[in-house]
Amino acid sequence: MKQYQNAEDTRGRLVMSCMTPASDGTFISIDDEEAKQFRESVVEWLMTNHPHDCPVCEEGGNCHLQDMTVMTGHSFRRYRFTKRTHRNQDLGPFISHEMNRCIACYRCVRYYKDYADGTDLGVYGAHDNVYFGRPEDGTLESEFSGNLVEICPDRRIYRQNALRALQP
C-alpha cells in the first residue's frame, strides 16, 4: 500500500500493510498504480518457491495466498530453475510442518515470539536460503502453539488430525 504523511502529500511511500501498524490520521491508498505494481511483484516473488499444487492442497479454495494470486492476476511463471526444498519438521503430536510451502512471510515467528511468548521457533538461514522452524525436532514449548495453524497463510503449518480425517 502507499502511505502518505498528510492529505496534501502527493508522493507517498510504499509500505508493507502487514508490517505497518494502523494509527489515527494515517493516509493510505491501495489503488495507487505504484502500489498495485509492487503488490503484483510481491505475489510473484512469493510464488517463486511455493508449489503450484492448489488442486490437491487441503486448503484449495480457502487460501489467502491463492486469493492474492487471483486478485493480482498472477497466472504465469518466469522462474524456471530448481525450487528450494526442505525436509518437514516434527513440531509435536498436533501440528505438522511442511516447509516447502513456506512463503517467508514471518507471520508464524512474529506471532510465536510476540504473542505466544515462545522462544523455540525461529528463522534460520544462510545466503539466500531461509528456514522457519526449530533448531531440532520436538514439540513446541508454548501452550498457544496450536494457533500457528490459523496464522500461517499458506498452511505450511497445519493440524495433523485435519489431514488424517481426509484420508480413507
Q: What is the CATH number of the domain that holds 150?
A: 3.30.70.20
Which residue segment(s) compose the domain that 131 sits in?
86-168
According to the model, what pLDDT value does residue 162 have?
53
Task: Report whether pLDDT(39) > 80.
Answer: yes
According to the model, what pLDDT value does residue 115 have?
94
Asked if the structure places residue 135 within a domain, the reply is yes
pTM above 0.75, yes or no: no
Asked if the structure places residue 40 within a domain, the reply is no
Asked if the structure places residue 67 within a domain, the reply is no
Task: Report whether pLDDT(125) > 90.
Answer: no
Asked if the structure places residue 42 within a domain, the reply is no
Asked if the structure places residue 31 within a domain, the reply is no
According to the model, what pLDDT value does residue 143 have?
92
Asked if the structure places residue 53 within a domain, the reply is no
Give the pLDDT band (50/70/90) at residue 2.
very high
Asked if the structure places residue 56 within a domain, the reply is no
Q: What angle do CA 128, 72, 69 make, to 5 degrees?
A: 60
Domain count of the chain?
1
According to the model, what pLDDT value does residue 129 have?
75
Task: Report whether pLDDT(83) > 70.
Answer: yes
Q: Distances in Å between the alpha carbon of 130 and those of 17, 87, 125, 134? A: 22, 13, 4, 12
